[in-house]
Structure 1
């Protein structure tokens, strides 16, 4: 019998045998293409950072309404990053304005698109670029801003103001 893998997993942090963060780590090691969305009541910085570090693509609070969760899962599946607004407010204490001045206008446009949850293809279509150009520009942006991935970039975008 063939087993089918899910595209996305909703993961709680507290579980009886293994916590959700360790489980996420194992899922991402075995199946890196599977998106993991943390769905929890915990919004402490330690859990948020640990979850994102092991590969969670999103972090939503259980207090979110079902329509919002469905929309966020669709954004996640299309390559976006999803973070609850309350979660974003707890992350990244950087001098964002100084870092933002280091970006070109095109790079700033791409940061805005990532912050809006667009995938590389959607960004390419919107800005009339190739997906390769978007991917390369994202690498430059992440290096300039000293960020690890597009999830951190999305957090950066929402926290900069």
Structure 2
């Protein structure tokens, strides 16, 4: 008998988790091994349940999907992370891929597309849903003149929410020195002198939306 693909569902909405579980359990080659409500729980359950695939939402309270993806890929490299989210933002896609996500699928995608993405991820094949790939290619084709990297944008978003360097470092699982380095690059690229002016410049140019 062929081994089933073990899937851990990560989403902060119970209705969404129930719906996804129902869809996956209708497929003979999938087995839902658990559910997590945030990134922190996802990392913990990945270590305990050893799923083949973590189906990861991005925007959740506490530890978000990008930070959780990065930790899972570092601590459990044999587990693949497939992002399933409502966000088709080029910045979100880049951050997820940079964190180690194998694929990226939107929640409104046809269920057969999701099934195919899970099967591809289980085989270690990178996959972006067609509409997601289009958004990503558009971002690559027409990059902002500021040229902020995905990680620099992520740091700036946390700054815009009022977080200090220590809290940002803890959230993103990087050092404070790395946060400071990213901010210096942001200041240089935006021509800003400090945190407030960097956020203002990014919002004015449309590269940061809160």
Which TM class, normalised by the smaller chain length?
0.5 to 0.7
C-alpha deviation, 1:31, in angstroms: 0.5
Matched with 1:93 is: 141
Matched with 1:56 is: 101
Gaps of 5+ in 2: 1-46, 143-210
C-alpha deviation, 1:86, in angstroms: 1.1
Q: Structure 2 residue aligned with 1:84, among 123, 129, 134?
A: 129
Q: How does 1:16-27 map to 2 (within 5 A)?
A: 16-27=61-72
C-alpha deviation, 1:93, in angstroms: 2.2
Quick check: 1:69 aligned with 2:114? yes
Matched with 1:111 is: none
Runs of at least 4 residues of structure 1 off by over 6 A? none
8 Å CA contact 2:113, 2:129 repeated in 1 = no
Q: How does 1:86-125 map to 2 (within 5 A)?
A: 86-91=131-136, 92-93=140-141
Q: How does 1:27-46 map to 2 (within 5 A)?
A: 27-46=72-91
Q: Could you give the per-residue CA deviations for residues 57-114 of structure 1, whole angstroms, max 9, x where no partner exists? A: 00000011222211210111112111111111122329xxxxxxxxxxxxxxxxxxxx
TM-score, length of structure 2 as denominator length: 0.42
RMSD of equivalent CA atoms: 1.7
Structure of higher RCO (CA pairs closer than 8 Å, 6+ residues apart) = 1
Quick check: 1:12 aligned with 2:12? no
The 1-side partners of 2:49 and 2:63 are apart by: 23
User: What is the total number of aligned residue pairs between the two structures?
Assistant: 93
The 2-side partners of 1:40 and 1:3 are apart by: 24
